[in-house]
Copies of this chain bind each other. A is one copy, B any other.
Amino acid sequence: MDTSPRLAHPVTRRRVVIIGGGFGGMTAARCLRDVDVILVDRTNHHVFQPLLYQVATAALSPGDIAWPLRTLFRSQPNVRVVMDDVISIDRTTRVVRLRDSAPIGFDALIAAPGSRHAYFGHDEWEAYAPGLKTMADAIHLRERMLRAFEVAERQRAETGAQDRLTFVIVGGGPTGVELAGSLLEIGRKAMGPDYPNLRLDDLSIVLVEAGSRILPGFDPVLSARALAALERMGVTVKLNKPVTAVRIDGVMLGDEWIASTNVIWAAGTKASPLLNTLGVDQDPCGRVTVQPDLTIPGDPWIFVIGDAARCIGKDGTPLPGIAPVAMREGRYVAHLINQELAPEQRVPFAYRDRGMLATIGRAQAIAQIGPFHASGPVAWALWSIVHVFFLIGLRNRVRVMFEWTWYYLTFKPGARLLCEQPAVPPTSNHASAPTGVDRKSLRRAA
């Protein structure tokens, strides 16, 4: 007797639950037909993650690279969006449990909850060295960066001297490299003119990598070119330097100490802890090792895709956690569900290399698509075209292409807003004499 769970009674429509509104989940939802889809995400929007580092460095605003999920699926009445946290997946009863809503039953499940960065057993470092994975992360980092400039400016205006303004980025993968380049550019070109007291030679960006080269997923020649480009821009790159300690005022790299109150973590990978509730094998990063058809062992209608899945590619190594992979996987599983293909009818998932891109500043990038390599402005132009193309929907593409061109030209100052901190009520002391006042500021006193 065939004990594999069947899809539901043919009279009622099948229901597919998708966990996660990122590239994988969103693409699957767009491709599913003739089923009821419930898409659960803890935020109400889809983030274009490749550009998240630009929100973190105040080059773009959140609304430029994120779209409400409800609006994206407005024209697909079979897709319902639920904004909530998934607490656990119950395979036996075929139910996902949510934090605030009632549990949701499913016929098929697509788990695409993504991943975060990892602190290699030192989760306490997160308080001093936040990461960059969600929009909330990006907004937090942006605020830290803007306040750091304000404090340095004030310090210099008051004392004439200034501590070196140092930013440390841990992790030489694409996120770290792109953050480093963008931070340096925004710091010097967009903000420099706004801070006349800051000596921007005192702005220091340090990129720290534990391995022997940055961008290890790329060809070594391209890694070397990227390294040269970063150093020409003025970023200090430290290779073969794993972080051994993180404190509120700096990081330790073995016996080297870097003083900084602006540390950003862009290293390591840890898949969503939600996957632990599936009860299947996971790799050290927490990713689920999936079958050739992207299912979990023993259940042909529970799929794991995107950064949360460990899927072995043609060359025997796991596929990278990048958007094109997640999108292809989403399309694949949607097809299996649409066609109601039984396990023995399914062709294994195969990913045709669509290449990788990483930017280094406003007009530089490296690109690698199969044997094709490019670097410099050509690669950057390619990066721009590809990213816009990947965007969902023609209407969005046209709009965003126009907006980004405009923002590129104007350095989009509206992205650099800081709101006030809680106000202290003033005291009424118009009759009292000043105390402990800096003598320099009294030169106008009567």
Contacts and interface: CB of A to CB of B under 8 A. Distances in A.
Nearest to A274: B426
A429 B427 CA distance: 56
Tallying the copies of this chain within the complex gives: 2
Interface in A327-377: none
Given A99-B424, A196-B80, A437-B103, A430 B42 contact: no
A391 to B, nearest CB: 13
Interface in A26-82: 42-45, 61-64, 66-68, 70-71, 74, 77, 80-82
Given A105-B442, A150-B83, A445-B105, A70 B399 contact: no
Contacts of A158: 101-102
Contacts of A90: 429-430, 432, 434
A317 interface: no
Interface stretch (A206-214, A236-244, A284-292, A407-415): A407-415
Contacts of A259: none
Given A154-B100, A419-B135, A430-B278, A8 B44 contact: no
Contacts of A432: 90
Contacts of A444: 8, 15, 94-95, 105-107
Contact of A426 (B87, B92, B94, B434): B87
A414 B63 contact: yes
Contacts of A197: 80
B105 A441 contact: yes
Contact of A94 (B150, B279, B446): B446
A330 B158 CA distance: 28
A420 B134 contact: yes
A249 interface: no
Interface string A13-29: 00100000000000000
Nearest to A418: B44
A97 B427 CA distance: 10
Contacts of A418: 43-45, 83
A164 interface: no
A193 B233 CA distance: 47
A318 to B, nearest CB: 24
Given A273-B425, A278-B430, A410 B414 contact: no
A152 to B, nearest CB: 12
B66 A426 contact: no
Nearest to A415: B63
Interface residues of A, number: 100
A51 B430 CA distance: 36
Contact of A104 (B68, B92, B417, B441): B441
A324 to B, nearest CB: 23
Nearest to A395: B410
Contacts of A61: 61-63, 414
A8 B66 CA distance: 53
Nearest to A279: B430
A105 B443 contact: yes
A67 B413 contact: yes
B94 A413 contact: no
A64 B426 CA distance: 32
A276 interface: yes
A281 B63 CA distance: 45
A241 to B, nearest CB: 32
A88 interface: yes
**What 6 A-B pairs have minimum CB-CB distances, sorted nearest first?**
A63-B414, A70-B194, A105-B444, A136-B419, A42-B420, A61-B63
Interface of A: 5, 8, 12, 15, 42-45, 61-64, 66-68, 70-71, 74, 77, 80-95, 97, 99-107, 134-136, 139, 146, 150, 154, 157-158, 191, 193-197, 273-274, 276-279, 399, 406, 410, 412-421, 423-434, 437-438, 440-446
16 contacts: A62-B414, A62-B417, A63-B414, A64-B414, A83-B150, A86-B426, A87-B424, A87-B427, A89-B430, A90-B432, A93-B442, A95-B441, A102-B158, A103-B437, A105-B441, A277-B428
